[in-house]
Structure 1
Amino acid sequence: MDKAERKSMIKVRGGFSEDMGFNPCNTQPQTSEFDNRTRTFISNKLYDFLQITFEHETEMRNLHYGSSDQNLSTVFCKDLIQNVFTDNNHLPVGHQYNWENLYSRIEKVIMEAPYNEVLDLLWYICYWLSIATHKCFNIFQKWFNDLFEKEYVGYRFVAGKIVPITDKIEMQEIEEACQTPFEGARIQLQKALGFLSDREHPDYKNCVKESISAVESVCETIVGSDNGATLGKAVKHLEEHGLKIHSSLREGISKLYGYACDQGGVRHGEGEVESTVTFEEAKLMMVTCSAIVNYLVPEYGKYGAENA
């Protein structure tokens, strides 16, 4: 066969061809479409994950979920058929579904559907695992975040949502803040993440609002539940009880927070000022407010709680 007639048949990331610049694998962020290589990897990874999960049903199953006379695979299939494929999921008495028999339909979505529906499918399965199993939710997120990173997918799982955030430090800040023991702040940050991650109807203005409210909620806990519980008062309260914070750091936090409160019509009544908040600004302020929460909460535990 003549050299000109030879066709590329494989793609190995990090291999000789990529090092030499021949037929390199995709290295551009995939945000509005997934290439076939990535889709194949997602399908293989999902198949492996489900296989392990259902092979260890006894260890994984949350016994409070689903009918006890149905195996976990049947519960999974019935829920997926109804809630994702929106089809009838009736079975004769005594019959069971098998996830492997349904997988060809799952794989068809992964390989052929628009990228957003692929992410919808993965999100639903992650959500289902959080309810139906004891141990799988965090592992599922890690498996797919690792895959997304290797394949340059511009999305990550963060606290059960799929969001367009690619920086590991940003992810860690939001993840940690969304698990804070302060219930008010936790709920507001989870709302903010929902507004940010909604791919069809994102609401960046309310993302910033809820992020700010999370900081205010922590401040109210530190200072006391009065209407004047500001970030400045919260930091001052902690300083009075032993916290040492450099003046430049205190000023920097306050200025970022002040910007979040005032910009883009966020602090104005609905309709008074048209919001100009962009995704980048909303992400920045959610990460910033998450970082402030992650800073204040442990410091309150060390310096404020016993003196509150």
Structure 2
Amino acid sequence: MNTFSERQGLVGSTALGPTVMPIEVRNRIWNVVQNYIDKEFQGRSNRNVAILYIWDKFFKENKNYLKKSPFSDYYLLDQIQQKFYQLAWNAVYDFLEFLISIVNSQEYVNNFIGKLNGVFIDERVQYKIIKGYVTPLISGEEAEEVDSAINNKYGIVSGHIKKALEFYKKRPVADYQNSIKESISALEALGRIVLNKPSATLGELAEQLNVHPAFKDAIKKLYGWTSDEGGIRHAEKDGKNLGVGEAEARFMLVQCSALVNYVITKYEK
């Protein structure tokens, strides 16, 4: 079974961009892991077998160095915890997938996954465990589109995408509505540059693109969703919350970034 790190190309190659795991996130993940081991492997024998298995199979350490409690025959979790806190951010996800794979009880597995996904949501971790695998909410290809849009040479455009990403990842509470607004603003700003018209709209930019009519219509509808009466911008002016969530903000961030990159490529030909 390929690990999370192998699937994401983080083993044997250089990962694209700095990625870290804040200590608060690591602490909360460990709390779930510790509770999981204590509950799933009840009884001294089961717990000892599990800890020894983790020590040997995952960490590949000498079992003779694994310490037991001075008051009982229990193996201590302390050394597992110490190793956990030394893991690279991506190896933490490998570790979680490993733990999921060694448990027979689907009920315990589902509970474990549910608790971890809850932590991921609370802490704005951009992953979700699906079918036992840690899966990015934004794929590698999508992340590249966003990164490319942020690093384009048109400062005002990249600035909007950067703000959209900041609002999307804002802690403790994300601002999805403003993230969507900034995503579409990036396209509008690019349209004004391409058309050399300070008042240009996204609809006008779509008309200038030599693409299929259905593609033009899709771009116009994106703009309409944010700018028409009842859209994101009108809701903001009226102090309303449209109830947009993570899924809508992620979709707009990725799609607007991809469109920015696409338009720049056509514009600069």
Q: What TM bracket, shorter-length normalisation?
A: 0.5 to 0.7
**Contact map agreement 1:238 1:300 (CA 8 A) in 2:** no
Counterpart code for 1:230? T
Q: Does the Cα contact within 8 Å between 1:207 and 1:286 map onto a contact in 2? A: yes
Instruction: State whether structure 2 residue 56 is matched by structure 1 residue 5.
Output: no
Summarize deviations over 1:35-72 as a string: whole Å, max 9, x none: x9798456233xxxxxxxxxxxxxxxxxxxxxxxxxxx
How far 1:288 moved relative to its partner?
Answer: 1.6
Q: What is the alpha-carbon distance in structure 1 between the residues aligned to residue 144 and residue 56 of structure 2? A: 27
Aligned to 1:43: 86
Matched, 1:192 2:164: yes
Identity score, percent:
29
Distance 1:13 1:290 in 2: 45
Residue aligning to 2:225: 259
* 2:248 counterpart residue number: 281
Please say if 1:230 is aligned against 2:181: no
- Per-residue deviation, 1:207: 0.7
Deviations 1:202-221 (A, max 9, x none): 21111111111101010001
Q: Distance in 1 between matches of 2:247 and 2:153?
A: 27
Q: Answer yes or no: is 1:164 the counterpart of 2:204.
A: no
1:61 corresponds in structure 2 to none
The residue type paired with residue 177 of structure 2 is: K
Code of the aligned partner of 1:181: K
Gap change, CA 1:230 and 1:148, over 3 Å in 2: farther
Distance 2:220 2:245 in 1: 21
Cα displacement string for residues 185-216 of structure 1 (whole angstroms, at most 9, x for unaligned residues): 10111111111101213211111111111010
Contact 2:146/2:258 (8 A) holds in 1? yes
Residue type matched to 2:185 in 1?
S
The equivalent of 1:298 in structure 2 is 265
Distance across 2 between alignment mates of 1:180 and 1:13: 47
Distance of 2:161 and 2:260 partners within structure 1? 10
**Which residues in structure 2 correspond to 1:48-87 (within 5 Å)?**
none
Q: Secondary structure at the match of 2:226?
A: helix
Task: Return 5+ residue gaps in structure 1 as ranges.
Answer: 16-35, 46-143, 157-161, 240-244, 303-308
How many Å separate the matches in 2 of 1:237 and 1:147? 47
Instruction: Name structure 2 gaps, 5 residues minimum.
Output: 1-42, 59-78, 98-115, 128-135
Aligned to 1:62: none
Q: How does 1:115-134 map to 2 (within 5 A)?
A: none
Q: Distance in 2 between matches of 1:285 and 1:186?
A: 15
Q: Does 1:176 align with 2:142?
A: no
Distance 2:56 2:239 in 1: 49
The residue number in structure 2 matching 1:247 is 213
Aligned to 1:84: none
Letter in 2 for 1:220: R
C-alpha root-mean-square deviation of aligned residues, in Å?
A: 3.6
Matched, 1:213 2:192: no
Deviates more, 1:276-285 or 1:185-194: 276-285
TM-score normalised by the chain length of structure 1: 0.46
Counterparts of 1:170 and 1:257 in 2: how far apart (Å)?
20
